Structure 1
Amino acid sequence: MKSVIELIRAREILSGPGRPTVEVELTTADGIRVEASVPSGTSKGKYEAWEVYDGGKRFRGLGVKKAAENVNLEIAPKLIGESVLAQRKIDDIMIELDGTKNKQRLGGNAILAVSLAVAKAGAQAAGLPLYRYLGGLGGVRLPVPLATVISGGKHSPSALDFEDFLLIFDGFTCFAEALEALVEIRYLLEKNLQKKFGLVADDGGALAPPINDNTQAFDLMLEAVEQAGYGGKVALGLDVAASDLYLEDRGLYKISGREMEPAELIDYYISLAKQYPLVFIEDPFDQDDFESFAKLTAALPDRKIVGDDLFVTNPVRIRMGIEQKAGNTLLLKVNQIGTVSEAYDAGILALQNGLAVTVSLRSSDTNDSFIADLAVGLGAEEIKLGSPVRGERNAKYNRLLKIEEELGESAKFAGSLR
């Protein structure tokens, strides 16, 4: 049989922020060789696929030698001789081998690394670019870039409540133009913040100015947009990460020093959407608060109300959202569910039921550019990659530039299609 797996080898490597993660090398009997590595998130939903870590003192407990060992000793022997073109079969073998609901025995980080490698090898075996292999002939749409340029939340050195303050580049005719605008605006924003505040902390490529007013962050961002000459072409977005702000024992959210009922928070978001070109609100409520998600979706039907921790790229939770009309956009993170097949199914389920899809990287990501091809293959409207100032982010931006160039005149840009 052509392109059967001959070798799978996993190892521990470092992600962009210097955190251990799993890389898998896969070779086939006919000479295909690929590598794939997996990301991890700093802020995680409680329903995500489980990641296996070593514990102990090494890397503050975050080593992944155990996960790599699970690949080498348990997964690899089961897959030798399987065709890399049998993606779903291989993913199902690993899911069955793990035997748990959330991949906690072998680890989502172990399983996904193999799944990604199989997809890459499958594309080579089929003689197709990865985005075509994943999405067929329909894979011609380049996503709108979403970039976190100011950071807040519990993991940021700033005092802002919300985790990500985003710029959304949907007023352009192609991806390359949108990326050029992002680079220029991000540069000007950094210079402006340095003039106002002196040395400004950098949080994974996003800026963390010493401010605590959420609207001030928007004002600073729009100032840079206007200064760069892109007024009217760039919108705003938020990742609230509201589960981190939720006082579960009291059912309240603590924002800007105030404790708010869900209804008050809905009014707050509506006020922001009236005051600013705010078109994207991610995780505005706790990950189990489907009711408030539904109310905000109804109140702001022309804005993207985005489920990240709410949906965790899981078809079961996506269906719950569809039934309750809670959210209108899926934030798709492949490692939340743990295999390529399941992530793709989640994206298709969302699209078939009228939800938009935004593909996203994780805060502790690698130079693996798989999700760039996935976004094009799925026809996702947007991709959330962060500021273009670190290798793990720019690997994905650069891959999208190459895809757009390769597609030539057949390339469509999601921003120009709205």
Structure 2
Amino acid sequence: MSSEIASVEALRVWDSRGNPTVEVAITTASGAQGRAIAPAGASRGSREALDLRDGGSKLGGMDVRKAVANVNEVIAPKLIGMDVNDQRGIDDTMIALDGTPLKSTLGGNAVVASSLAVMHTAAAAEGVPLWAHLAKKYERQPSIPLPEIQIFGGGAHASQRIDIQDFMVMVPGASDFEEVMEVTSEIFRAAGSLMTQRGGAVGVADEGGWWPSFQTNEEGLELLVEAIELAGETPGDRVVISLDIAASEFASNGKYRLGLEDRDLSSDQMIALLGKWIDTYPIASIEDPLDEDDREGTIAFTQEFGDRIQIIGDDYITTSETMLRKAAGEGACNAVLVKVNQAGTVSEMLDTFMAAEDLGYRNVISARSGETEDVSITHMSAGLGGGQLKVGSFTRSERMVKWNECLRLQNAPGMGGFAAGESLANTWWGKKGQQR
């Protein structure tokens, strides 16, 4: 059976925000086929791969016909005849073909959809599920990841209704993924009930979390703790809180503008505010606590709190091995958010993932706010034994399809156990003698 690529075809499809995006299907000479869809982010780091959009007035400038054409007319002729198992060689070919650091010639959306489709097709040619293909190819121990699940959505995912982008829960005390889903469902329902009682429920945000109406950002933490308790859980026991501050979205000229509260904070004041929250609430993880260009602030925050909580670099690292190694050398963050479309290719994402392990950083594989029914990241997290998975909330099919895939995979022959959160530190656990 030949594993040579026989055809590469791109199609314009639609994401969860109703925007066009790129799907690529690849078929080998033997008939094996794989397909993948490019996700799209709203909160973007300035150093991540750029989607190619058509601009103009049609579809708000978000059309992707140029990116689709680049796959069909530029990428396809180069990939046809290549071995689908040569992920690195194919990705390097597309990187060279584009010729820019951020994939701006061909479009990050065109390149990442093609790269992911290669990965899927290689698994299909082997006749195994994607997670199993990845585990074998990269000599990994597969496992079911611990999820971060959004309860309240804010920031760029909710038209800046609140400044903080994600208020999430994690259930590191769960025995398996099914228990995580059940506990989170109860918390999500409790949060909705509390918001309805207060007249603050105004719909759902881009990633499916409640789109709240709060008077302050801290009110989100207060209500989340109430929801955890209403669900019958003890905050800081088997359920903890995770925040994505996405501080770059409200940082400017060295200041942090909390629009909801009509005040500006310096870097030191922002660190002090987050420190107060860490001391007050069962927070085990914070993502992008400061601006992507606030190097001194991020280092200072990590030095002060890095032995107490997980500090994730997203915009600060942008799934770049170079930026990760720089952060590690300077003592910034202790975990990295891994987004394949942020890097632009599967190979570049894997470089960052593997480097994180070598450097002692935790990996958190992540979806984007503009998602689809594509389940690539679920298989990547499970097959690579990533440990943690961030998809969004507990509603909307583009989110639930990824969580449900975890449920299916946990019973698959050859799959390892559930990656519970023993490695997550938390101040509440320490106070209660429960730190693991």
- The interval holding the TM-score normalised by the smaller chain is over 0.9
* 1:166 Cα deviation after fit: 1.0
The 8 Å contact of residues 359 and 382 in structure 1, kept in 2 or not, is answered as yes
* 1:158 Cα deviation after fit: 6.3
Letter of the 1:259 counterpart: D
User: Larger deviation: 379-388 or 341-350?
Assistant: 379-388
In the TM superposition, 1:55-74 aligns within 5 A as 55-74=55-74
Distance 1:396 1:154, change over 3 A: closer
1:117 is paired with a residue whose SS is: helix
User: Larger deviation: 239-248 or 405-414?
Assistant: 405-414
For residues 108-142 of structure 1, the C-alpha deviation after alignment (integer angstroms, 9 at most, x for no partner) is 11011111011011112223321222233533221
In 2, Cα distance between equivalents of 1:58 and 1:83? 38
Is residue 303 from structure 1 mapped to residue 309 from structure 2 by the alignment?
yes
Letter of the 2:185 counterpart: V
Is residue 279 from structure 1 mapped to residue 284 from structure 2 by the alignment?
yes
1:25 is paired with a residue whose SS is: strand
* 1:263 Cα deviation after fit: 1.3
The 8 Å contact of residues 52 and 108 in structure 1, kept in 2 or not, is answered as yes
In 1, Cα distance between equivalents of 2:118 and 2:414? 28
Distance 1:37 1:153, change over 3 A: same
For residues 258-294 of structure 1, the C-alpha deviation after alignment (integer angstroms, 9 at most, x for no partner) is 2222112111111110100111111111111122111
Count of aligned pairs between the two proteins:
416
Distance 1:189 1:407, change over 3 A: farther
In 1, Cα distance between equivalents of 2:126 and 2:25? 19
In 2, Cα distance between equivalents of 1:70 and 1:202? 35
Distance 1:198 1:352, change over 3 A: closer
The 8 Å contact of residues 378 and 406 in structure 2, kept in 1 or not, is answered as yes
The 8 Å contact of residues 173 and 416 in structure 1, kept in 2 or not, is answered as no
1:31 is paired with a residue whose SS is: coil
Is residue 313 from structure 1 mapped to residue 316 from structure 2 by the alignment?
no
In the TM superposition, 1:41-56 aligns within 5 A as 41-56=41-56
Q: For structure 1, list consecutive stretches of 5 or more residues without a partner in the other structure.
A: none
* 1:186 Cα deviation after fit: 0.8
* 1:378 Cα deviation after fit: 2.6
* 1:369 Cα deviation after fit: 0.3
Distance 1:28 1:175, change over 3 A: same
Alignment equivalent of 1:411, drawn from 382, 402, 417? 417
Distance 1:407 1:220, change over 3 A: farther
In 2, Cα distance between equivalents of 1:100 and 1:158? 32
Hey, what does 1:334 align to over in structure 2?
A: 340
* 1:223 Cα deviation after fit: 1.5
* 1:31 Cα deviation after fit: 1.4
In 1, Cα distance between equivalents of 2:201 and 2:167? 19
For residues 17-66 of structure 1, the C-alpha deviation after alignment (integer angstroms, 9 at most, x for no partner) is 21110001111111112221010001111101111111112110000010
In 1, Cα distance between equivalents of 2:289 and 2:358? 24
* 1:199 Cα deviation after fit: 4.6
Q: For structure 2, list consecutive stretches of 5 or more residues without a partner in the other structure.
A: 424-435
The 8 Å contact of residues 45 and 309 in structure 1, kept in 2 or not, is answered as yes
In the TM superposition, 1:203-218 aligns within 5 A as 203-204=205-206, 205-218=208-221
Alignment equivalent of 2:400, drawn from 394, 411, 414? 394
Hey, what does 1:246 align to over in structure 2?
A: 251
Letter of the 1:243 counterpart: S
In the TM superposition, 1:5-404 aligns within 5 A as 5-136=5-136, 138-157=140-159, 159-197=161-199, 199-204=201-206, 205-231=208-234, 232-248=237-253, 251-255=254-258, 256-300=261-305, 301-404=307-410
Distance 1:120 1:98, change over 3 A: same
Distance 1:379 1:57, change over 3 A: same
The 8 Å contact of residues 88 and 347 in structure 2, kept in 1 or not, is answered as yes
**Identical columns (%):** 38
2:325 is paired with a residue whose SS is: helix
Letter of the 1:375 counterpart: S
For residues 187-223 of structure 1, the C-alpha deviation after alignment (integer angstroms, 9 at most, x for no partner) is 2211221122165221121112211322211121122
Query: What is the TM-score normalised by the length of structure 2?
Result: 0.92
